[in-house]
Amino acid sequence: TIEFTCALHATVVKQVCLKNPSSKTLMYNAILVGRDADDFSLPKGNTVTIAPKRQTSITVEFTSRFLRPAEAVLLLVSKTVGGINGATLTFSLKSEVKHIEPADILKCKSPCYEL
Quick: pLDDT tens for 28-43: 999 999 999 999 999 9
The model's confidence at residue 53, banded by pLDDT at 50, 70 and 90, is very high
Q: How far apart are alpha carbons 35 and 112 in whole angstroms?
A: 43
104: burial class by Cβ within 10 Å (0-12, 13-18, 19+)?
exposed
The model's confidence at residue 68, banded by pLDDT at 50, 70 and 90, is very high
Q: How far apart are alpha carbons 33 and 2 in whole angstroms?
A: 14
Rounded to an integer, the average pLDDT of 43-72 is 93
The model's confidence at residue 87, banded by pLDDT at 50, 70 and 90, is confident
Residue-range domain boundaries for the chain: 2-99
Q: Taking phi first (over 0 means left), then psi (-120 to 50 degrees means alpha), and beta for anything else, what does residue 44 get?
A: alpha
Rounded to an integer, the average pLDDT of 90-103 is 90
Q: How far apart are alpha carbons 73 and 37 in whole angstroms?
A: 7
Which CATH superfamily includes the segment(s) 2-99? Immunoglobulins (2.60.40.10)
Q: How far apart are alpha carbons 6 and 66 in whole angstroms?
A: 11
Residue 81 has pLDDT above 80, yes or no: no
C-beta separation of 26 from 49 below 8 A: yes
C-beta separation of 91 from 17 below 8 A: no
